[in-house]
Amino acid sequence: MTQLYLASGSPRRRELLAQIGVPFTRVHAPIDETPLPAEAPQAYVERLARAKAAAGFATLSAPGVVLGADTAVVLDGVILGKPDDREHALAMLGDLSGREHQVLTSVALTDGQRSLSLCVATQVRFRAISFDEAWRYWASGEPVDKAGGYAIQGLGAVFVSAIAGSYSAVVGLPLSETAELLEQFAIPCWQHEEIA
């Protein structure tokens, strides 16, 4: 059976792969995540997903398939990264308050001979968020390392009034589309082996 490697430190992506019964081993594949000048958000997440997969593949000492992924929160065509500090997080939550934004997640797989990738766009609408709520949310510690300063699978779910598209993509890995990509590399879901 083909061995899958996950080039991601994200606990959410690990949980999502485990959820669909896909055994994997994590590989460390740090890359420069700085956007290129005038790079469009979709091109950015696709480039990073492919770069993570390629960097992960370069670390392998045996055959396998490497999965890389990247997620970006986009508002008015601008990528909202992880907050630098409390003021930045509060500003982002203020910008997202009462508005719809887009979450782009790209997934890439490579076995060294073949590379496949895709990008999933999901629309997320926030209800109005008061400054006090945003401050208390920051104080919870959850927004610190989250793109856009929130986690839909955590406490930040209370801000989400509507979603159109893939919920799991907003968390970090579009499961339906990822399963289809894995099938193309002969990696089935719902395996009963222990997850690495």
Supply angle C-alpha 94, 98, 100, rounded to 5.
100
Is residue 76 classed as helix, strand or coil in its secondary structure? coil
* Cα distances (angstroms) measured from residue 179 to each of 21, 73, 129, 148, 162: 10, 23, 35, 26, 25
Residues near 187 by Cβ (< 8 Å), separated by ≥ 6?
A: 1, 2, 4, 22, 65
Question: Partners of 70 in the beta sheet?
Answer: 106
Q: Which of 32, 70, 95, 132 is catalytic?
A: 70
Is 70 an annotated catalytic residue? yes
Phi, psi dihedral angles at 159 (to 5 degrees): -85, -15
User: Which residues are known to be catalytic?
Assistant: 70
